[in-house]
């Protein structure tokens, strides 16, 4: 595998240092899952590029205090790699990271990993029908197939607050937590009250002198049914593996039932709201604080959070919740619109991720050099969240409209991995060198998705959230309904949905191309014509 190819073969892209059949970018659940399943399917000519020096994706990058999964670990794990050793129902970050490292070792994908490879650009070369990849370390690869497993929540978002650069104290985003900075005795300002902040605020509140929490929108918070996994359960999972399968299925069904409220009958969310209101009443005695923490939109419109220690942390004497808008930041304070100055030694941004533009400009360019940022100028879209017209042999995992608010993302990831595997096998059996989804297929699919989303809670619940594209208001992130429907939709791969290109007259390594048996013949011109 990975034949070294002569520099001159890459012509205008010299020097290419590596040629591979399949390049995967990223080693989180998506990249590792894809790599493992490729190996299991006997496809071994692939390489996985990873910008960091270890695997884990979001579970490597996010290590803030209290970082944990908010989906039960028996479901938030690969179906082919159950872990009987989970210590808690909702595993914490170090355990999830260790699980992914163990999977990479156990399933033999370590030899395919290339660390320190941060993708800076992937450009499709239509003549050679190959992707040309450049990395920040100067390496350049050529790959027939490109699989993006870069994740939708990997680029930290910092708020656009005047004066943010003038702050003289320590400032960091939750994803770039500075564990070396001693919070003890400091005045800390936390901006944001999303899934990350509600996990780290209870951890740091007892350590700091004072914590100012700046809340723009209160989240709906439900009790977290967390507990240690009992030794007897671990024994059962180890010795009678079907017991863990039963547990996984039960949890999956319980989570799946929540889609009724989110996507089918948003009015059902009112019942769930009562549980959250009771949780708030029980945990917060102060009516003024309770009023600040009570959302004014329907539950589910934003991600529903779960926590047992968030509200008690906000009730502490050394914690204040500020709901006035932040006007500016000065060198040692946050100034709010009511004119109050909140002195701070440290600023922590729990302000989420750049979701609307999953790829920075210049990183992915398809046929004719078209940047994916321009293709998506009205919001991201793809067929089954995976393939995109104009981007042959480009597959995305956790692409547009594959996110879930109610169930495990690993289920969606595995659905996409299997779909891509089927696509690759079909290409192999039909001797297609490249495929590209028909624009009309992709368009019809997305029209349907958007119709369903228009009725769902994320559009009707009366809130603004990162689920919606800020430019168009379109929901480009979530799958509209039951996760099993996505599994059904991705269960078969149909070549009828795609243009299939027979091998290019000359391949990148100079060998003569095998004769084509592709029946759904196409050429670039016909794909371009349909795209118009
Ligand atoms: P987030 O949910 O996007 O929350 C960002 C927070 O920052 C929100 O409260 C937002 O307020 C606030 N904010 C943003 N810009 C602001 C500004 N200019 N001024 C004031 N406040 C501002 O981000 P996150 O908490 O990092 O979570 C992101 C996603 O990561 C989650 O939804 C989830 O999918 C995932 N996640 C998962 C887990 C897990 O356990 N599995 C844990 C953490 C994160 P508004 O609400 O008003 O916009």
- Same domain flag for 90 and 203: no
Whether the bond between 232 and the residue before it is cis, its omega within 30 degrees of 0, is: no
Identify the residue whose tokens are 């350590």: 207
- pLDDT band of 524, cuts 50, 70, 90: low
Q: Mean pLDDT across the chain, nearest whole number?
A: 91
120 CA to middle of ligand 1, Å?
A: 26
101 CA to middle of ligand 1, Å?
A: 27
- Same domain flag for 28 and 109: yes
pLDDT of 10-33, one tens digit each? 334 557 889 999 999 999 999 999
Tell me what pLDDT residue 267 has: 81
Asked whether residue 8 carries a pLDDT value surpassing 50, the answer given is: no
Tell me what pLDDT residue 7 has: 36
* Mean pLDDT, range 400-413, rounded to an integer: 95
- CB distance 195 to ligand 1 below 6 Å: yes
Tell me what pLDDT residue 370 has: 98
Asked whether residue 521 carries a pLDDT value surpassing 50, the answer given is: no
- Same domain flag for 387 and 494: yes
- Same domain flag for 337 and 407: no
458 CA to middle of ligand 1, Å?
A: 15
Q: Residue 365: which H helix or E strand, with range?
A: strand 364-365
- pLDDT band of 5, cuts 50, 70, 90: very low
Q: Which of 352-356, 415-419, 519-523 has the highest mean pLDDT?
A: 415-419
Asked whether residue 263 carries a pLDDT value surpassing 90, the answer given is: no
Question: Which CATH number covers residue 344?
Answer: 3.50.50.60
Residue 345 lies inside a defined structural domain of this protein = yes
- CB distance 218 to ligand 1 below 6 Å: no
Total number of domains constituting the chain = 2
Residue 139 lies inside a defined structural domain of this protein = yes
Tell me what pLDDT residue 119 has: 97
Q: Of the given ranges (49-53, 333-337, 472-476), which has the lowest mean pLDDT? A: 472-476
- Same domain flag for 52 and 101: yes
- pLDDT band of 504, cuts 50, 70, 90: low
Tell me what pLDDT residue 515 has: 35
- CB distance 191 to ligand 1 below 6 Å: yes
Q: What is the C-alpha separation between 161 and 158, in angstroms, rounded?
A: 9
Domain end call among 308, 331, 349: 349
CA dihedral 123, 126, 129, 132 (to 10 degrees): -20
- Same domain flag for 46 and 109: yes
Residue 121 phi, psi (nearest 5): -160, 145
157 CA to middle of ligand 1, Å?
A: 9
Q: What is the C-alpha separation between 112 and 45, in angstroms, rounded?
A: 9
Tell me what pLDDT residue 520 has: 45
To test the pocket of ligand 1, the residue of 95, 151, 193, 194 to mutate (highest count of ligand atoms within 8 Å of its CB) is 194
For the chain, the first-to-last Cα distance in angstroms comes to: 38
Q: How many CB atoms lie within 10 A of CB 225?
A: 11
- Please report how the helices 439-455 and 524-531 are oriented relative to each other, as an axis angle in degrees rounded to 10: 40
Tell me what pLDDT residue 471 has: 86
* Mean pLDDT, range 456-480, rounded to an integer: 88
Residue 525 lies inside a defined structural domain of this protein = no
Q: What is the C-alpha separation between 122 and 398, in angstroms, rounded?
A: 18
529 CA to middle of ligand 1, Å?
A: 41
CB 195 within 8 A of CB 175: no
- CB distance 324 to ligand 1 below 6 Å: no
In the β-sheet with 170-173, what is the strand arrangement from edge to edge?
A: 170-173, 346-349, 187-191, 210-214, 319-322
Residue 515 lies inside a defined structural domain of this protein = no
231 CA to middle of ligand 1, Å?
A: 35
CA dihedral 236, 248, 151, 454 (to 10 degrees): -170
- Same domain flag for 180 and 321: yes
* Mean pLDDT, range 371-377, rounded to an integer: 96
Q: What percent of the chain has pLDDT over 90?
A: 82
For residue 346, the cross-strand partners are 170, 188
- CB distance 173 to ligand 1 below 6 Å: no
- pLDDT band of 531, cuts 50, 70, 90: low
pLDDT of 169-201, one tens digit each? 999 999 999 999 999 999 999 999 999 999 999
- Same domain flag for 387 and 479: yes
Buried b (16+ CB within 10 A) or exposed e, 105-129: eebebeebbbeebebbebbbbbebb
For 309-349, where are the E strands, in sequence order? 319-322, 326-330, 333-336, 341-343, 346-349
Task: Name the maximum alpha-carbon separation found in the chain.
Answer: 77
Q: Does 148 or 354 have the greater pLDDT score?
A: 148
The residue contributing the CA closest to ligand 1 atom 22 is 192
* Mean pLDDT, range 129-149, rounded to an integer: 97
Tell me what pLDDT residue 152 has: 80
351 CA to middle of ligand 1, Å?
A: 5
* Mean pLDDT, range 87-113, rounded to an integer: 98
* Mean pLDDT, range 28-47, rounded to an integer: 98
* Mean pLDDT, range 290-317, rounded to an integer: 96
Q: How many CB atoms lie within 10 A of CB 389?
A: 25
- Same domain flag for 244 and 121: no
- Same domain flag for 369 and 341: no
| DSSP H stretches of helix in 115-229 | 197-204
- Same domain flag for 47 and 148: yes
Q: What atom in ligand 1 is closest to the CA of residue 351?
A: 7
The residue contributing the CA closest to ligand 1 atom 23 is 352
Tell me what pLDDT residue 446 has: 97
Residue 425 lies inside a defined structural domain of this protein = yes
Tell me what pLDDT residue 104 has: 98
Q: What atom in ligand 1 is closest to the CA of residue 175?
A: 26
Q: Does 259 or 12 have the greater pLDDT score?
A: 259
Asked whether residue 518 carries a pLDDT value surpassing 80, the answer given is: no
Q: What DSSP character marks residue 233?
A: H
Q: What atom in ligand 1 is closest to the CA of residue 68?
A: 40
Among candidate residues 249, 228, 242, 304, the one with its CA nearest the CA of residue 273: 304
Tell me what pLDDT residue 507 has: 47
CB 64 within 8 A of CB 199: yes
- CB distance 301 to ligand 1 below 6 Å: no
Domain end call among 349, 373, 400: 349
Angle at CA of residue 337, ends 280 and 309, nearest 5°:
20
Domain end call among 295, 328, 349: 349
- CB distance 153 to ligand 1 below 6 Å: yes
Residue 505 lies inside a defined structural domain of this protein = no
Asked whether residue 525 carries a pLDDT value surpassing 70, the answer given is: no
469 CA to middle of ligand 1, Å?
A: 15
- CB distance 308 to ligand 1 below 6 Å: no
Q: By residue range, what is the domain housing residue 397? A: 15-155+355-500
Asked whether residue 58 carries a pLDDT value surpassing 80, the answer given is: yes
| DSSP H stretches of helix in 333-408 | 372-375
Tell me what pLDDT residue 252 has: 96
Asked whether residue 9 carries a pLDDT value surpassing 80, the answer given is: no
Residue 8 lies inside a defined structural domain of this protein = no
* Mean pLDDT, range 445-466, rounded to an integer: 89
Its sign, for the CA torsion 40, 42, 46, 47, is positive
Residue 511 lies inside a defined structural domain of this protein = no
- Same domain flag for 311 and 431: no
């Amino acid at each position: 595998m990975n034949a070294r190819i002569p520099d001159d073969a890459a012509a205008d892209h010299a020097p290419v240092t590596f040629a591979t059949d399949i390049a995967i970018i990223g080693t989180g659940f998506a990249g590792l899952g894809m790599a493992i399943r490729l190996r299991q399917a006997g496809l071994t000519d692939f390489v996985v590029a990873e910008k960091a020096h270890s695997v884990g994706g979001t579970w490597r990058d996010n290590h803030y205090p209290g970082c944990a999964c908010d989906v039960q670990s028996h479901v938030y794990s690969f179906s082919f790699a159950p872990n009987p050793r989970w210590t808690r129902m909702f595993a914490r970050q170090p355990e999830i990271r260790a699980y992914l490292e163990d999977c990479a070792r156990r399933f033999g994908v370590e030899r395919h990993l290339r660390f320190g490879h941060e993708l800076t650009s992937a450009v499709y070369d239509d003549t050679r029908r190959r992707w040309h990849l450049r990395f920040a370390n100067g390496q350049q690869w050529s790959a027939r197939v490109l699989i993006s497993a870069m994740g939708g929540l990997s680029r930290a978002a910092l708020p656009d607050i005047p004066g943010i650069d003038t702050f003289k104290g320590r400032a960091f985003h939750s994803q770039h937590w500075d564990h070396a900075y001693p919070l003890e005795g400091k005045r800390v300002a936390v901006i944001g009250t999303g899934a990350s902040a509600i996990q780290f605020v209870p951890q740091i509140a007892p350590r700091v002198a004072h914590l100012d929490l700046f809340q723009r929108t209160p989240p709906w918070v439900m009790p977290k049914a967390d507990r240690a996994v009992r030794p007897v359960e671990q024994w059962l999972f180890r010795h009678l593996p079907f017991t863990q399968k039963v547990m996984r299925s039960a949890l999956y069904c319980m989570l799946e039932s929540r889609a009724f409220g989110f996507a089918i009958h948003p009015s059902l969310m009112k019942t769930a709201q009562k549980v959250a209101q009771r949780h708030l009443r029980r945990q917060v005695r102060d009516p003024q604080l309770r009023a600040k923490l009570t959302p004014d939109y329907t539950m589910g419109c934003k991600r529903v959070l779960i926590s047992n220690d968030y509200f008690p942390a906000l009730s502490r004497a050394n914690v204040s919740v500020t709901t006035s808008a932040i006007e500016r930041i000065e060198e040692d304070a946050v100034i709010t619109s009511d004119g109050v100055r909140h002195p701070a030694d440290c600023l922590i941004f729990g302000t989420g991720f750049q979701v609307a533009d999953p790829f920075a400009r210049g990183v992915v360019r398809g046929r004719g050099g078209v940047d994916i940022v321009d293709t998506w100028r009205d919001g991201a879209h793809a067929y089954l969240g995976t393939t995109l017209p104009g981007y042959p042999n480009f597959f995305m995992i956790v692409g547009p409209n594959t996110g879930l608010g109610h169930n495990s993302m690993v289920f969606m990831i595995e659905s996409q991995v299997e779909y891509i595997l089927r696509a690759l096998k079909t290409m192999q059996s039909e001797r297609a060198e490249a495929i590209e989804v028909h624009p009309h297929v992709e368009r019809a699919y997305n029209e349907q998705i958007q119709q369903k989303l228009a009725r769902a809670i994320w559009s009707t619940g009366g809130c603004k959230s990162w689920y919606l594209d800020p430019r168009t208001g379109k929901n480009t992130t979530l799958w509209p309904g039951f996760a099993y429907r996505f599994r059904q939709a991705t269960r078969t791969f149909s070549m009828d949905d795609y243009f299939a290109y027979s091998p290019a007259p000359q391949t990148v390594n100079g060998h003569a191309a095998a004769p084509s048996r592709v029946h759904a013949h196409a050429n670039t011109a016909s794909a371009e014509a349909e795209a118009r």
